């Protein structure tokens, strides 16, 4: 397991720790959403409330779960793990729909706020949280969840952490359960975005200005784009390192971006209203 010192030094964690620190300065849940909401969702505004913020998550949860074949009756008895819950934008909705929800995040302060969000807009009695201390390992037993879900999180991790969390998602999902994992892969604008991201992450490390710019929207939007992973890379890593296997594998992508998958037995499908740089891995986990 990666030690804590190593994890603390990783530039990929800077924007989350910076926003997480802001959540610890106190303030109402609405104030916290206004000051940190933009790191979780593009819709921000000086008037945004926690209720409106959670409504954006509810809409996306309903849409994606429906598209992936998980309507209310199917979700009702299940335990769902959300990797990268943040302050609970989607978590509140998951707790309304599932029997149990485990929210996992690299920032412990976010998890505290996540509990607050779910307390106000979801079912706190169905929520537990787990801190991803090293950025790649889940402190959960094998086969402990029915669904492992992650949205706009794995793209922000260092590449090895994203692959590690993907393997962990498979490990903790019971045989017959499902992984629903969202990634980001290459698009043409990366020619500019990737070097800009490297530059910003270097600046974050500089004592004089790092702290200041890590709390700004413009810098974070460049610096947090930490990896690009293709479906083949993720699938190969799981095949090579996981004791379990995947069946019924579907890769979903935007209608505006062609994605080639060379692994056999993988269906490739278009999903409407998916960001053109994103893709989803949807698959059934089978025991070792």
Ligand X SMILES: C[S@@+](CC[C@H](N)C(=O)[O-])C[C@H]1O[C@@H](n2cnc3c(N)ncnc32)[C@H](O)[C@@H]1O
Cα–Cα distance between 175 and 153 in angstroms, integer?
24
Q: Which is nearer to ligand X, 124 or 261 (CB)?
A: 124
Distance in Å, CB of 238 to ligand X, minimum:
17
Tell me the residue number closest to ligand X, measured at CB.
Answer: 84
Distance in Å, CB of 43 to ligand X, minimum:
11
Distance in Å, CB of 247 to ligand X, minimum:
26
Distance in Å, CB of 107 to ligand X, minimum:
4
Q: Which is nearer to ligand X, 226 or 266 (CB)?
A: 226
- Pairing mode of beta strands 245-253, 278-286: antiparallel
Mark 32-43 as b/e (b = at least 16 C-beta within 10 Å).
bbbbbbbbbbee
Q: Which is nearer to ligand X, 35 or 245 (CB)?
A: 35
Q: Which is nearer to ligand X, 85 or 178 (CB)?
A: 85
User: Please, how many CA atoms are within 13 Å of residue 231, restricted to the half-sphere of its CB?
Assistant: 25
218: tokens are: 């413009």
Q: Which is nearer to ligand X, 152 or 285 (CB)?
A: 152
Q: Looking at residue 122, what DSSP letter applies? A: S
SS3 30: helix
213: tokens are: 């710019």
Residues that bind ligand X (CB under 6 A): 16, 39-41, 57, 83-86, 89-90, 105-107, 110, 132, 135, 151-153, 156-157, 161
Distance in Å, CB of 287 to ligand X, minimum:
25
């Amino acid at each position: 397991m990666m030690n804590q010192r190593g994890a603390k030094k990783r530039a990929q964690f800077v924007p989350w720790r910076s926003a997480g620190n802001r959540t610890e300065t106190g303030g109402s849940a609405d104030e916290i959403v206004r000051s940190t909401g933009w790191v979780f969702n593009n819709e921000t505004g000086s008037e945004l409330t926690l209720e409106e913020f959670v409504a954006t998550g509810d809409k996306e949860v309903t849409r994606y779960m429906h598209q992936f074949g998980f309507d209310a009756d199917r979700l009702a008895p299940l335990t769902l793990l959300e990797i990268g819950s943040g302050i609970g934008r989607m978590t509140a909705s998951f707790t309304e729909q599932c029997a149990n929800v485990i929210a996992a995040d690299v920032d412990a302060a976010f998890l505290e706020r996540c509990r607050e969000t779910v307390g106000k807009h979801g079912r706190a009695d169905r929520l537990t949280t787990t801190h991803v201390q090293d950025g790649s390992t889940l402190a959960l037993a094998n086969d402990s969840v029915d669904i492992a879900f992650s949205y706009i999180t794995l793209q922000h991790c260092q590449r090895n952490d994203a692959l590690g969390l993907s393997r962990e998602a498979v490990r903790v999902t019971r045989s017959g359960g499902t992984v629903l994992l969202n990634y980001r892969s290459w698009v043409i604008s990366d020619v500019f975005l990737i070097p800009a991201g490297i530059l910003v992450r270097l600046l974050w490390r500089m004592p004089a200005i790092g702290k200041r710019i890590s709390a700004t929207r413009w810098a974070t939007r460049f610096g947090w784009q930490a990896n690009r992973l293709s479906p083949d890379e993720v699938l190969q890593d799981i095949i090579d390192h996981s004791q379990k296997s995947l069946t019924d594998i579907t890769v979903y992508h935007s209608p505006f971006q062609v994605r080639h998958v060379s692994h056999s037995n993988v269906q490739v499908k278009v999903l409407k209203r998916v960001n053109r740089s994103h893709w989803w891995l949807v698959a059934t986990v089978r025991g070792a």
